[in-house]
Amino acid sequence: MNKIKTGDQVIVIAGKDKGKQGSITKILSNGRCYVSGVQIVKRHTKPNPNAGIAGGVVEKEASLDMSNISIFNSSTKKADKVSIKSLEDGTKIRVFRSSGKEIK
């Protein structure tokens, strides 16, 4: 079971965007992820009239390493760690390590 999933609210704990919050939009298999509104980079693109691309400088999101983000605990308004807890019926749930509350 993954500790961080797509759609989780996360906070950046290292790098140029330290302190910014966003939700995970995509998780890659190489240990990187895309967070909405974080790690915005400028890319120079060529015009492509067949695809309708005008070209120029385009701002887009770049991927972040998973070690540079942490899940955001809305009750404490801080970054938190994730723990996996097994219930009596055998199902596993994700909980905040500091409070033990279930992650929705």
pLDDT in tens, 12-69: 999 999 999 999 999 999 999 999 999 999 999 999 999 998 999 999 999 999 999 9
3-state helix, strand, coil in the chain (%, to 5): 5, 50, 50
Question: Based on the structure, what is the number of domains in the chain?
Answer: 1
pLDDT classification of 104: cutoffs 50, 70, 90 = confident
* Residue 10 burial (CB count, 10 A): 23
* Residue 49 burial (CB count, 10 A): 8
Residue 52 lies in a domain: yes
Amino acid at 21: Q
Amino acid at 69: I
Cα dihedral angle (18, 19, 21, 26), rounded to 10 degrees? 20
The CATH number that applies at residue 58 is 2.30.30.30
**5 has pLDDT over 90:** yes
| pTM score | 0.84
